Amino acid sequence: MSDTSSRAKKTKANPMWGGRFGVAPDAIMQKINASIDVDKRLYAEDIAGSKAHARMLAKAKILTAKDAAKIVEGLDKVRVEIETGRFTFKTELEDIHMNVESRLAEIIGEPAKRLHTGRSRNDQVATDFRLWVRGACDRAELALREFQRALLDKAQAHAGTIMPGFTHLQPAQPVTFGHHLMAYVEMAGRDRGRFADARRRMNESPLGAAALAGTSFPIDRHFTAEALGFDRPTANSLDSVSDRDFALEFLSAAAIASMHLSRLAEELVIWCGPQFGFVRLSDAWSTGSSIMPQKRNPDAAELVRATSGRMIGSLIGLFTVMKGLPLTYSKDMQEDKARSFAAADALMLSIAAMTGMIDDLAINEARMKASASAGYTTATDLADWLVRELGMPFREAHHVTGRIVRRAEELGIDISELALADMQAVEKRIDKRVFKVLGVENSVASRTSFGGTAPANVRKAVTAARKRYL
């Protein structure tokens, strides 16, 4: 017999489930099996679920009203102990459910042993975790709303601030900074929609599904579902305890939102550099160097950019855990909470940081406009003019404009600075009216199609977005 087995025999079996076992688990088994260091964050949800369950048991006359009242009162005392730091979490009790129930038994005695009637830790944890993820969706959605508010305030202030719009990170066409920020308002709006949609789909109660097959006790699952704010109980007991698609949906929404935040963070990093000089992050959102006194590092933006990898990793990690599990519950699912908690924490911090950066962001309007004027960004305006005024097919106008751009490039000037004779040498029908469309101000002002960058459009879009999102 191994030394490990000998050590195990000296201790008693687990008091919560040890009737089938003669000795306690090995110390290493206890360590790998315990989840209390992670799932103690579910204490509020666990206590809420137990209170609803106890009241339902009393309503169904499975428990006496007196015992149910003692259980509810005792659970309230446990919650106070946890929230005031007077509760001792015990690894040997494995998880939040057993820690709460054990302490409840110490407080109220015999009635605590009746609480687990008609349920299992399988449906208990599924319920607790759904409640927590549902709350995480709500918290993320509210944080993204505040992020949109910051973007909208800045977009309104810079509805007419001209900057280059990019494709391939090369100057493409003039846009306004307000219009650029409004793109992220729309992304955040869809992110909020994903969290809200996931919340609606997960808002069903697994409580009462028991271990996997339901229970023979005359429980009322609709009662507990309503008590916990769910729309309805889950329809299949096997599915109730064995799937974590609600967590995957949350993680997916978090990963997509973090990707959007990362893209804006990347732009801030680029724009802060002297090569662009478009924006300046305040001291509150920058750091210095230990060796180079001149440095201002956009570390907050860089960390938001990096943190997205953690959230995407959490999603892929849980997908990998779940992909091969047969029905119903397997202990592999214990990995769901650490990944979800970490992703939720990272997301909330990233949103808060990005909101703060946008609020404090200083804009170098002159630098943006000068950059918008470089790189022949009004070439498309010239091509459009040829189509509109001369009736030229667009593909032909594209070639004509390309030849005019090449001539301006040879002379080292912008298209708007070319002499009319230079343009007419390429296309004789061009007249002086063309100069009205070649300046960047004229360019952005002309983009009046719905969703376009014209300052008037941006101001209308901000007003509409405030009504839609705030």
- Read off the pLDDT of residues 285-296 as tens digits, 9 standing for 90 and up: 888 888 988 888
Summarised one tens digit per residue, pLDDT across range 29-43 is 777 877 889 999 999
Least confident of 59-73, 193-207, 217-231, 427-441: 427-441
H helical segments located in 203-334: 221-227, 237-242, 245-272, 299-322
3-state secondary structure of 56: helix
Summarised one tens digit per residue, pLDDT across range 138-149 is 999 999 999 999
Catalytic residues: 168, 289
- Chain mean position to CA 16: 38
- pLDDT for res 31: 75
Question: Residue 7 — very low, low, confident or very high, per pLDDT cuts 50/70/90?
Answer: very low
User: What whole-number distance in Å separates Cα of residue 63 and Cα of residue 56?
Assistant: 9
Summarised one tens digit per residue, pLDDT across range 400-448 is 999 999 999 999 998 989 999 999 999 999 999 999 998 899 999 999 9
Question: Would you call the peptide bond into 328 cis, given omega within 30 degrees of 0 as the criterion?
Answer: yes
**Mean pLDDT score, 170-187:** 96
Q: Nearest to residue 397, comparing CAs of 377, 419, 425, 427?
A: 427
User: What whole-number distance in Å separates Cα of residue 88 and Cα of residue 86?
Assistant: 7
Tokens of 326: 């047969």
User: What whole-number distance in Å separates Cα of residue 358 and Cα of residue 180?
Assistant: 13
- pLDDT for res 32: 83
Average pLDDT of the residues of the chain: 93
- pLDDT for res 5: 44
Residue 20 burial by Cβ neighbours in a 10 Å radius (0-12, 13-18, 19+): exposed
User: What whole-number distance in Å separates Cα of residue 333 and Cα of residue 340?
Assistant: 12
Q: Which one-letter amino acid corresponds to residue 211?
A: A
Q: Could you tell me which residues come within 8 angstroms of residue 434 by beta carbon, excluding any fewer than 6 positions away? A: 382, 385, 389, 420, 423
Taking only Cα atoms into account, the Rg of the chain, rounded to an integer number of angstroms, comes to 31
Q: Could you tell me which residues come within 8 angstroms of residue 468 by beta carbon, excluding any fewer than 6 positions away? A: 189
- pLDDT for res 8: 45
User: What whole-number distance in Å separates Cα of residue 217 and Cα of residue 89?
Assistant: 31
Q: Between the CA atoms of 373, 376, 380 and 384, what dihedral angle is there, to the nearest 10 degrees?
A: 80
| Predicted structure pTM score | 0.90
